[in-house]
Amino acid sequence: VIITLSQTLNNSTNSKVNCVAEISHKEFWEKEDFPNPQINIDLCGRHCKTSWICDPNAVLSSQQADELDSIVNTVAESGKCSCQNCTSTDGYNISIALVSSLKPSIKSLKDSAVEFIHFIRDSWNFQKCDNDIVILLSKDDRKVYTEAGATANKFLTDDCIDQVHDIIESDLSDGKYYDVLKEMATQYKIILSEGNCEYISEKRTMTIVAFTVGAVFGTIVLTFSVCALILNRKQGRYQKQSDDEEIDKKVVRTSRPLYHSNHSFDGVTGEDICNIDKDNNEGIKDNC
C-alpha cells in the first residue's frame, strides 16, 4: 500500500516523462473519488498535461479538450480580477469536470449534482478569493451544472447562468457536449468581461423582433401570392368560358342548313309528298 501510494504521488508531481495516462471505465463517479486536473495529471484524460479540465472517461477528444483549455486560459489571464490583491494577469478561474454519470442516490439528480460540484470546487481550490467557476457535465444524464464562487457570482449571477443554460439546452439534448462546453466557456468569458449578461437579453429581443418582422412579411407575401393565384384562376375560367361560347357560336353557324326543305311525309298513304315550286321563269323546280 505504501509503495502504491508513493507511486501515485510521484505520478501526480513528477514530470510527464514518468506519467502513465489512464482512461477510466467507471460508470458512476462519487465526489470523493474524482481527480484533480492540476495534480492528478495521469487520471484526468489529458495525456499527462496539467489542465483546467478533468475528463477521465474521455467524453471529449484530446483536440476538443485542448481548445477548451485555451478558452479558459484566456479568462484566467485576462486581468479581470475582483480580488483585493491581483497581479496584471489574474482573472477568473473556470474549470470543467466531465463524468459519465453521477452515482444514483436517494437524493434527486440535481441535489446530487449540486453536492458533487460544491465538493470538487472546494477540493480543487482553483481560486484566490472565491473568483472561480466550476462546470460539471454528466454525459449519460444529459445535464450540466455551474457553481460560481461568491466573488465571481457578483457578475456571473444565478440569472446569467440560467440564461446561458437556456442557450445550450438543445445542443445538450442532442449530445453535442463539446459545443455545449465551448458555448458556456465563451459566454462566461464575455459575461465576466462585461460585468453583466444584459447583452443576452438584448440579443434575444433583437432575435424575437427579427423573427416577428420576418413572420409578418412572410404572411403578407403569402397572402398576396394566394390572392394572385385565385385571381389568375378566375381569369382563366372566364377566358375558358368565353372561348367555349365562341366555339359554340361557330358550331351553330357552320351546322345551320343552307335552305329549308319542303319535303314531308304523308302518314296516311305512306307516301312522300313533294311541294313543287315555280321559279320566276315559269319553270318547275323540284325541292324534294
Q: Which domain holds residue 184?
A: 28-196
Q: d(Cα 152, Cα 83) in Å, to the nearest integer?
A: 10
How many domains, in total, are found in the chain?
1
Residue 216 forms part of a structural domain:
no
Q: Is residue 106 part of a domain?
A: yes
Residue 245 domain-assigned (yes or no): no
Q: What is the largest CA-CA distance in the chain?
A: 152
Quote the pTM value.
Answer: 0.66
Task: Write the single-letter amino acid at 123.
Answer: S
Residue 168 lies in a domain: yes
**Does the residue 268 lie in any domain?**
no
Q: What is the pLDDT of residue 219?
A: 60
Read off the CATH number of the domain in which 153 is found: 3.10.310.50
Phi, psi of 157 (to 5 degrees): -75, 170
In a domain, 231, yes or no: no
User: Could you tell me if residue 207 is inside a domain?
Assistant: no
**Residue 119 lies inside a defined structural domain of this protein:** yes
**In sequence order, what DSSP letters do the residues of the chain get, joined into one string?**
-HHHHHHHHHHHHS-GGG--------SSB-GGG---TTT-TTTSSSTT---SEE-TT--S-HHHHHHHHHHHHHHHTS----SSS--TT---EEEEEEES-BPP-SS-HHHHHHHHHHHHHHHH---SSS-EEEEEEETTTTEEEEEE-TTGGGTS-HHHHHHHHHHHHHHHHTT-HHHHHHHHHHHHHHHHHHTS-HHHHHHHHHHHHHHHHHHHHHHHHHHHHHHHHHHHHHHHHHHHHHHHHHHHHHHHHHHS-SS----EE-TTT--EE--EEE-TTS-EEE--
pLDDT average per 10 residues of sequence, the chain (288 residues): 37 58 84 94 94 96 96 89 79 94 83 94 91 95 95 94 96 96 96 90 52 56 71 68 65 54 50 52 53
